[in-house]
Structure formats: C-alpha cells, structure tokens
C-alpha cells in the first residue's frame, strides 16, 4: 500500500509541470461551465420569460395595445389609477371564470392580504396573510400585461408538501367480534408536530408557496428537514434537466405566502386536484 502510494506521489512529483497545465485547463473548463450555467439557468430563462395568456380567454389579444412609446406619455397619477382599476377588473374577471366551477377554488388577494376558499363565487373560508413575497419579475414587468396575465384563473397542476394531503390511517379488519373488542383505537395522526408548508405548481408558469408563519418548539425539526430535502431534490432535478436539454429550462416566478398554521393546513387539505386559483397583486407593492 505504502509503496503504491509512494509510486503515485513520485509520479505526480515528476510530472507536476504537466499536471499543472491540465489543472489550468480544468479550471478554464470550470469557468466556461459557470458562464454557461449563469447563461442558461439564470439569465436566458428570465430574460426570455413571457406571460402565458390562455387561448380560451375572450378578447385575449384585443384588450391592450402594444406600444412602447405611449407607455411614457400618460400622466403618472392617471396611470396609477388606471392600474388599480385594471388590477381589480382582472381579479373580478378571473373570479367570475372560477365561479363557473362547482369545485373549491382559491382566491388570493394580496391587496387585501387575504386568501379565500371559494365555491361558485361564495367565500367559504377566509384566512389572513401574515406576510408575502413575490418574484421581482411579477412586480417589475409591464403592469398592464401583468394584470392581463392574472385576469384568467390558473390551474393547480402538482403540489409538494410537508404534510400528507389525506391523513389516512390504515386499520386491519378484525377476524371476529372478540378481536374487534381487543383492538386498540387507531386514534388520529399526531399532526401538531408537523411543519406545514406546501407548494402548488400552477399551469402558465407560476408557483405558489405557502408556509406557516411561526415555528413553535412543538414542531419537529425532522419534518422541516424532510420537506426541505424534498424541495432540494426537485431543484437539482430541474437543473440537471436543464443541462441535458439546454434551453428547455423554464424560469418559474413564485409567490410566497405566510399564514397561520391552522389556516395553511385547512387550505392545503381543501384544495382538490386541478383546482382553480386567482391572484390579485398589490399594485402598491
């Protein structure tokens, strides 16, 4: 073993010059890789990001005129007023579309700091948002186009969560009445120790992240770590795919919302598959 090590060391010492050159090349390659990464993961997807306005949206291309110069010719106060109205109109339009469904939907009003569960235009549960954060692209983009983007409901396509969606407890059926009498009560899942955080992946490139606003001592750190690990895995997968199929990586802006733990759990459990979601941004944010 020692001899082999000595051999390796001697070999490297003798050829140090050659290896140094190779090392420099590797560092150069790494730098190229970093530049490539920054370009395809950080710059291009964000710069090429476009709002997706669904085809079925009535008056999709008629509402707004695309005219860069005119943007600056309007008085500031008028522009603000017009924006507030456009924002409200967009939220109502999306809400009306969502109300056509008989399933539970989610209405997020960041202007009002509320999240509501809606069925057919009726609010059945409202929670107060204790904090939120939006990706800058949603706030810095053309505000009229942003309102058009939000004037049609989104659809929940997938989710990721720290708590089970359906807290099922499996109970084996007893063989006879004697066994039934001796079987302990399966009770309920102990959920008070679980950290509540979840993420809805919506169609039209938008992610909604919800998390409880405070972490009490009761919450098991393990449940937080497990969820974070899950998210990390997801992110790694995305980045790996971006390298394999360069250019296919899509930037997805997100809205991060903090809620009271109970409310967060209620919302998560209530939202069905393919639920519709409407969002109203705060124009003064």
Partner 1 sequence: MKNLSYIKAEIERILIKYFSRTRSPEEAESNINRVIQYSKVFGFLLSFPLIVIAVFKLLMILTPSLQNGMAGLSAGRISDSIPESLNNDPSRSLKTAENRIKNLEKAFSRYKNSQPYLVVNTTKNEFILHNRGIIVREGMCSTGSYILLDAGDEKKWKFETPKGLFRVQGKTESPVWKKPDWAFVEEGLPVPPSYSRLRYEYGVLGDYALSIGNGYLIHGTLYKRLLGMPVTHGCIRMDDEDLKAVFNTLRVGSKVYIY
List binders of partner 1 among 18-57 (CB under 8 A): 19, 23, 26-27, 30, 34, 37-38, 41-43, 45-51
According to CB under 8 A, which residues from 56 to 85 bind partner 1? 63-68, 70-71, 73-75, 78-79, 81-82, 85
What are the C-alpha distances in Å from 235 to residues 105, 192, 252?
27, 28, 12
Task: With beta carbons less than 8 A apart as the criterion, state whether 152 and 267 touch.
Answer: no
With binding defined as CB under 8 A, does residue 159 bind partner 1?
Answer: no
- Report, in Å, the least distance between residue 27 CB and partner 1: 8
- Asked if 252 and 209 touch (Cβ cutoff 8 Å), the reply is no
Question: Of 20 and 216, which has the nearer Cβ to partner 1?
Answer: 20
Cα–Cα distance, 42 to 91 (Å, whole number) = 31
- CA pair distance 37, 183, nearest whole angstrom: 58
Site for partner 1 in 195-234 (CB under 8 A): 232
Among 40, 53, 119, 160, contact with partner 1 (rule: CB under 8 A) = 119
- Name which of residues 138 to 157 contact partner 1 (CB under 8 A): 140-142, 144-145, 148
Residues 244-263 interacting with partner 1 (rule: CB under 8 A)? 251, 253, 262
Residue 170's closest CA among 181, 183, 158, 151? 183
Q: Supply the minimum distance, in Å, between the C-beta of residue 2 and partner 1.
A: 10
- Give the residue from 257, 251, 265, 260 showing the smallest Cα distance to 282: 257
Q: How far apart are CA 87 and CA 103, in angstroms?
A: 25
Given candidates 109, 129, 132, 135, which one binds partner 1 under the rule CB under 8 A?
A: 135
């Amino acid at each position: 073993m020692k001899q082999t090590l000595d051999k390796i060391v001697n070999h490297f010492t003798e050829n140090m010059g050659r290896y140094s050159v190779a090392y420099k090349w590797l560092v150069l390659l790494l730098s190229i890789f970093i530049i490539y990464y920054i370009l395809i993961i950080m710059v291009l997807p964000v710069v090429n990001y476009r709002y997706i306005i669904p085809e079925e949206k009535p008056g999709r291309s008629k509402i707004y005129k695309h005219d860069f110069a005119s943007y600056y010719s309007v008085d500031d106060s008028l522009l603000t007023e017009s924006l507030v109205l456009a924002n409200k109109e967009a939220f109502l339009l999306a809400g009306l579309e969502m109300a056509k469904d008989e399933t539970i939907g989610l209405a997020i009003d960041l202007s009002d700091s509320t999240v509501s569960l809606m069925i057919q235009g009726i609010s059945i549960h409202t929670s107060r948002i204790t904090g939120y954060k939006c990706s800058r692209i949603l706030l810095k983009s053309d505000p009229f186009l942003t309102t058009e983007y939000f004037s049609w409901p989104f659809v929940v396509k997938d989710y990721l969560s720290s708590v089970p969606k359906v807290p099922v407890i499996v109970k084996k059926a007893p063989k006879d009445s004697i066994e039934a009498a001796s079987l302990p009560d399966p009770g309920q899942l102990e959920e008070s120790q679980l950290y509540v955080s979840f993420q809805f992946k919506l169609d039209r490139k938008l992610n909604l992240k919800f998390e409880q606003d405070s972490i009490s001592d009761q919450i098991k750190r393990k449940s937080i770590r497990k969820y974070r690990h899950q998210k990390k895995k997801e992110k790694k997968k995305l980045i790996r795919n971006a390298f394999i199929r360069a250019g296919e990586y899509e930037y997805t802006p997100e809205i991060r919302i903090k809620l009271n733990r109970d409310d967060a759990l209620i919302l998560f459990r209530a939202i069905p598959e393919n639920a519709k979601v409407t969002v109203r941004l705060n124009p003064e944010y």
